Structure 1
Amino acid sequence: MDKQELGAFLRSRRERLRPEDVGLPSGPRRRTPGLRREEAAVLAHISTEYYVRLEQGRAPRPSGEVLAGIATALRLTDAESDHLHVLAGTAPTRPRLHRRDVRPSILALIGRLPQTAAFVLSATFEVLAWNDLAAALMEDFSELSPEDRNLARRAFLGPTRPATTLYGLSDTAEFRHQVVTELRATVARYPTDPAVTGLVDELRGASADFARLWQRHDVQPVPTLTKTFRHPVVGEISVDCDRLTLADRDQHLVLYSAPPGSPDADALALLNVLGAEAGDHRQHRSPR
């Protein structure tokens, strides 16, 4: 049970609610944002004293019934409710370290997708595997160290900055928010993994933008259905974005494709040729 994170999460969810959101009169002017603690406690059917202790990180582990009442009172989404249980230590235990090895069948699959840019992300946004089209669309990940293949680092600490874009993406700001949202959930799943906690500490210390977003305690993912890249060779290209969960290893398979016959599909086809040629060059060049 992470008492301090649990308290901070509860406080952030309570403060975002207005009395009218939960059927209470707004009443006179309030000094603090959101619901009062006693209002949240009444809605959750627990004592105000116990709820206050939960937010202050001084309460013992709450029961599943209490957590369910709090989730209902604070209007938590399914993802937020799951995060609440993880912080309270009532979720199923996971391995101490997040996995970085990719299943051989997934490696074979992304190699058989010539019209689709495909890559695998770890729980910390490290690009673990990719095909030639993904390298042509984004960058040649084989030229980078594992640390530099981390999209969280590249989004906040790489050659881009908050006012610029990553890989020419039109939704770079949204992607940065997604990174923070998912990393917060990842820390809750792997609280003793130094690769996870170290990455978050690094980003919080080096990026004011990351630190600002981190303080929001958001854990609700926002689906991304399409992305638009501004590529230096083929120009603007819009792709469908599908993100498949590889639950056994807590990884994601990301697929970028375009409708057959569309200008975007033609652009991907051109990049596919360029990516294959670059792949042949990498395969046959002599070692350094």
Structure 2
Amino acid sequence: MTTMVLEKTAAQTQAATADDVRRAELAAFLRSRRERITPEQVGLPRGVRRRTPGLRREEVAHLAAVGVTWYTWMEQARDIQASGQVLDSVARALMLGRDERSHLFALAGVADPLPEAAYTDVPEALLQMLEQLEPFPACVQNARYDILAYNRTYGRLLCDLDAMPPRDRNCMWLSYTHPQWREALVDRDETMRLMTARFRAAMAEHVAEPSWKCLVKRLHDASPEFREIWARHEVVTDQSPRTKAFQNPRVGLLRVKHTSLWLGPGPGPRLSSYTPVDEETRERMERLHRLVLEEERAGASAG
């Protein structure tokens, strides 16, 4: 019995030591990343009495919308627990790259609610189907409105999706925060109202999942318009085909029928296609597709 107690105590001591080391490494990592960011990079005034290299702790806490005391304790390697949503906010405030973000979550011992791999797991057969639908725009989305895959026409329909980092390829995020995407939505107010109501209805089955809560927090922090619409608590479950209109900066007005084909038994991933409702839109879609192909060829030649 004594031997078992001693072994258990030794194991607990070893685990505690490992946790201490991990928290110290996390604290050092946060400090190093905070000190490399200038106030000008995040739109803050430098002031005349700044002696701290980079940002102050309270400035990071403000940018991440977390408590100053809580963030200070993280940098002091105290034994506190951080949620995925909070760490996501800290990662964005510190302007972390993909590898740095992964390192942050690993040190904190928390699963990343927005892993890069989640945006690439689309079967090859679906990717081929998207290509075959060209010149009609089409994409694969999940219930959270993440754009998991898309064909070339859809990639230039509302903005240049290729220029977006994978975690920002989300219709909700782009509709509330991306100027070009917002300009392309002809009936923007109604589109955003319906999309947000459908998102809220879908979230009922995912309310405890970090990735969903993380997206809501990002939108809540970034957009007063989202906060106002979200506070209405509207829900819509109807997913019937709808006619939409987009103002594309290259080819003009596009009037389309939006249809979703569900890829499983429940309201999860879906293939969304946009077919023209008139001949003028068809011609403009074909022209947009040709422009994208010409850009691809030009890029390949230059490379």
User: Residue 212 of structure 2 aligns to which amino acid in structure 1?
Assistant: V
Q: Match for residue 194 of structure 1? A: 210
Q: Match for residue 28 of structure 1? A: none
From 102, 115, 118, the equivalent of 2:135 is: 115
Q: Which range is displaced more, 236-245 or 178-187? A: 178-187
Aligned pair in 2 of structure 1 residues 128, 280: CA closer, same or farther (>3 Å)?
Answer: farther
2:189 is aligned with 1:173: yes
Confirm or deny: 8 A CA contact 2:138 2:154 kept in the other structure. yes
Using the TM superposition, give the Cα deviation of residue 274 of structure 1 relative to its aligned residue in structure 2, in angstroms. Answer: 0.9
1:166 match: secondary structure: helix
Using the TM superposition, give the Cα deviation of residue 201 of structure 1 relative to its aligned residue in structure 2, in angstroms. Answer: 1.7
Aligned pair in 2 of structure 1 residues 116, 284: CA closer, same or farther (>3 Å)?
Answer: same
Confirm or deny: 8 A CA contact 1:132 1:279 kept in the other structure. no
Distance 1:140 1:285 in 2: 19
Confirm or deny: 8 A CA contact 2:255 2:277 kept in the other structure. no
From 240, 246, 252, the equivalent of 2:257 is: 240
Q: Which range is displaced more, 248-257 or 188-197? A: 248-257
1:255 match: secondary structure: strand
Using the TM superposition, give the Cα deviation of residue 247 of structure 1 relative to its aligned residue in structure 2, in angstroms. Answer: 2.5
Confirm or deny: 8 A CA contact 2:184 2:247 kept in the other structure. yes
Distance 2:302 2:165 in 1: 19
Confirm or deny: 8 A CA contact 1:115 1:257 kept in the other structure. no
Distance 2:301 2:166 in 1: 22
Structure with the greater alpha carbon radius of gyration? 2
2:268 is aligned with 1:255: no
2:294 match: secondary structure: helix
What TM-score do you get using the length of structure 2 for normalisation?
0.54
**Between structures 1 and 2, the one with greater helix share:** 2
Q: How many residues align?
A: 185
Using the TM superposition, give the Cα deviation of residue 267 of structure 1 relative to its aligned residue in structure 2, in angstroms. Answer: 0.8
Using the TM superposition, give the Cα deviation of residue 248 of structure 1 relative to its aligned residue in structure 2, in angstroms. Answer: 5.5
Following TM superposition, where does structure 1 have runs of at least 4 consecutive aligned residues deviating by more than 6 angstroms?
Answer: none
Q: Which has the higher contact order (CA 8 A, sep 6+)?
A: 1
Task: Calculate the aligned-residue CA RMSD, in Å.
Answer: 2.6
Confirm or deny: 8 A CA contact 1:187 1:197 kept in the other structure. no
Could you tell me which runs of 5 or more consecutive residues in structure 1 were left unpaired when the two chains were aligned.
1-96
Using the TM superposition, give the Cα deviation of residue 280 of structure 1 relative to its aligned residue in structure 2, in angstroms. Answer: 3.4
Aligned pair in 2 of structure 1 residues 200, 225: CA closer, same or farther (>3 Å)?
Answer: same
Distance 1:189 1:239 in 2: 30
1:191 match: secondary structure: coil
1:170 match: secondary structure: coil
Using the TM superposition, give the Cα deviation of residue 241 of structure 1 relative to its aligned residue in structure 2, in angstroms. Answer: 1.4
Using the TM superposition, give the Cα deviation of residue 270 of structure 1 relative to its aligned residue in structure 2, in angstroms. Answer: 0.7
Confirm or deny: 8 A CA contact 2:155 2:161 kept in the other structure. yes
Q: Match for residue 266 of structure 1? A: 283
Confirm or deny: 8 A CA contact 1:230 1:236 kept in the other structure. yes
Confirm or deny: 8 A CA contact 1:119 1:129 kept in the other structure. yes
Aligned pair in 2 of structure 1 residues 113, 168: CA closer, same or farther (>3 Å)?
Answer: same
Confirm or deny: 8 A CA contact 2:259 2:272 kept in the other structure. yes
Matched-pair identity in %: 26
Distance 1:137 1:112 in 2: 17
User: Residue 161 of structure 2 aligns to which amino acid in structure 1?
Assistant: F
Distance 2:262 2:273 in 1: 11
Distance 1:104 1:264 in 2: 29
- What is the 5 A alignment of 1:58-97? none
2:229 is aligned with 1:213: yes
Distance 1:108 1:197 in 2: 32
Aligned pair in 2 of structure 1 residues 239, 252: CA closer, same or farther (>3 Å)?
Answer: same
